[in-house]
A and B are shown apart, each in its own frame.
Chain A
């Protein structure tokens, strides 16, 4: 049997590349072969020709460049020059961007090799991985294909979890990297808002959007963040703070760190196995000298998370997607008037899921409704952020189970009004409201399915977040987890 190199970590592959035991071309070929075999419906566009051509140009290993020759995959809402990009929406079928997103440019400059564009919930608006125009993306840990992988970064999560590549690009507006990471047993990370340039990321809700990554271990993340963070004049919201040397921080002792667990969120989680594994990681952290306290948060703030997120994200989204009209790009349907042309493109191009969100977002922005919906949500956002920051005055991190369950089955119904759904299933959006760095990593398995926990740290303290997560990772035995093929 041929060894699957792509299941290895970036660090391990780098080692092999430097020793010339493998070449970038071999890795690209293997990743492409695995992607072709993959059954999770995770691919929008296979960059076979582009990847092989590029990999062939990489001959002399760069010892100091951890990403040299490493294959990776890209969520299909990043603009990739001359490579079709449709954000899993028919409204963008056939669209071939004329420019590269900044994060794509930076990874290219590091000579990482892009293998494919991956599926997402249409235009990144969704958390299930079932609303893209190619249909459902499956969870590779469930060979019966009855469980979702989560979204919106479903394709990136599925292929990374299947061991096709060591890392993937995603984007996170509510929990679109960190939730699927929990369902797929991956490390999923969003940095501080403004830390990585969003230029070229198709906007969903810019005040919440961040570029994110999937890896199979925490250390790999440090290289990716170092390579992609930093000021970009194309994104005037991007931060000019210097980029830290994250990797140096990872293995430092965590003794004395203070971690807060929010009682009210933990309480609404019913799954005892998840709770037990979570408690076990807390005991392990305490063993390492970390202070872990259970703190309270106002229940009314927690129940307001979801509606606040829904209002703000839908409102911003309806405006951000107003450029999709079939005139400049995307399928054009002729008609008698320009309104009809646009109406045709949008009616045929958008699925019902996001149309409903657009209508809601637009309603929330109407002048007579703004005060009661959009502006109220913005006010409540501040209330939420102040409550969270208050906790972080005394603690370095907030630590919680990332989701209340393992990946749900497609047939499962969730009660949209239950606390478990409203709070435990949606609390990760705290990281987007506050813009704080937030990382999900696997802490256990149930019925063969992984589940994760989430650490959120202070603004621009990504290194510290990785440091504590690395400490948790040491104790779970799930570092490098991936779903082995049949």
Chain B
């Protein structure tokens, strides 16, 4: 596992596209200490790797596939009514440099 410290967690936050106040990173490091320690305890149980990772709470395989039938789409007004920055029926952003 990657080591963590304030800088690494700050980088992780920035990659999630937000920032926090300096104090928060200290709190976060403390929280990490606790949880990582607890996760290490779980890892120290030698049988843990005998378990398949569980994604869903129980066996729930399905055969369902949606029929390929198009439904009435949203009107443009509905689609865009919650967007707060738009122009000419489209959402507008500062120029995205590729």
The answer to whether any beta carbons of A and B sit under 8 Å apart in the complex is yes
Kindly state the separation between the CA atoms of A337 and B98 in the bound complex, as whole angstroms: 12
Kindly state the separation between the CA atoms of A352 and B34 in the bound complex, as whole angstroms: 18
A328 to B, closest residue via Cβ:
B83
Kindly state the separation between the CA atoms of A331 and B84 in the bound complex, as whole angstroms: 7
- Mark each residue of chain B from 63 to 98: 1 if its CB lies under 8 Å from any CB of chain A, else 0: 010100000001000110111110000010110110
Q: Enumerate B22-61 residues with CB–CB distance to A below 8 Å.
A: 24, 27-28, 31-32, 34-36, 38-43, 45, 47-49, 51-58, 60
Interface size of B by Cβ–Cβ distance < 8 Å?
57
Q: Check B42 against A352 for contact (C-beta < 8 Å).
A: no
B40 to A, closest residue via Cβ:
A372
Q: Check A416 against B34 for contact (C-beta < 8 Å).
A: yes
Q: Check B48 against A376 for contact (C-beta < 8 Å).
A: yes
Report B-chain residues with C-beta under 8 Å of the C-beta of A371. 1
Report A-chain residues with C-beta under 8 Å of the C-beta of B82. 94-96, 98, 328-330
Contact surface of A with B, Cβ cutoff 8 Å: 94-96, 98, 193-194, 207-208, 233, 236-237, 239-240, 300, 303-304, 306-308, 310-311, 318, 322, 325-332, 334-343, 346-347, 350, 352, 355-356, 358-360, 362-363, 366, 368-369, 371-373, 375-383, 385-386, 416-417, 432-436, 459
Q: Check B54 against A337 for contact (C-beta < 8 Å).
A: no
Q: Check A346 against B18 for contact (C-beta < 8 Å).
A: yes
Report A-chain residues with C-beta under 8 Å of the C-beta of B93. 327, 338, 341
Report A-chain residues with C-beta under 8 Å of the C-beta of B55. 207, 378
Kindly state the separation between the CA atoms of A303 and B16 in the bound complex, as whole angstroms: 30
The answer, among A96, A373, A379, for a CB contact under 8 Å with B52, is A379
B75 to A, closest residue via Cβ:
A98
The 9 A-B residue pairs with the shortest CB-CB distance, nearest first, are A435-B57, A329-B82, A378-B53, A307-B38, A332-B84, A346-B18, A382-B54, A372-B1, A379-B51
The answer, among A237, A326, A383, for a CB contact under 8 Å with B51, is A383
A327 to B, closest residue via Cβ:
B91
With contacts A356-B24, A432-B57 taken as known, whether A98 is within 8 angstroms of B81 at the C-beta atoms is yes
Q: Check A360 against B35 for contact (C-beta < 8 Å).
A: yes
With contacts A329-B83, A343-B17 taken as known, whether A237 is within 8 angstroms of B1 at the C-beta atoms is no
The answer, among B13, B17, B24, B57, for a CB contact under 8 Å with A385, is B57
Q: Check A366 against B53 for contact (C-beta < 8 Å).
A: no
With contacts A363-B4, A369-B2 taken as known, whether A207 is within 8 angstroms of B57 at the C-beta atoms is yes
Kindly state the separation between the CA atoms of A356 and B19 in the bound complex, as whole angstroms: 10
Q: Check B34 against A360 for contact (C-beta < 8 Å).
A: no
Report A-chain residues with C-beta under 8 Å of the C-beta of B47. 383
Q: Check B74 against A362 for contact (C-beta < 8 Å).
A: no
The answer, among A322, A335, A368, A377, for a CB contact under 8 Å with B39, is A377
Kindly state the separation between the CA atoms of A328 and B90 in the bound complex, as whole angstroms: 10
Q: Check B2 against A362 for contact (C-beta < 8 Å).
A: no
Report A-chain residues with C-beta under 8 Å of the C-beta of B84. 94, 326, 330-332
Report B-chain residues with C-beta under 8 Å of the C-beta of A328. 82-83, 91
Kindly state the separation between the CA atoms of A96 and B84 in the bound complex, as whole angstroms: 12
* Beyond known contacts A96-B81, A329-B83, A373-B36: 6 more, CB 8 A cutoff: A98-B79, A208-B57, A306-B38, A328-B83, A329-B82, A346-B18
Kindly state the separation between the CA atoms of A148 and B27 in the bound complex, as whole angstroms: 23
Report B-chain residues with C-beta under 8 Å of the C-beta of A380. 42, 48, 51
CB A350 to nearest CB in B, in angstroms, measures: 6
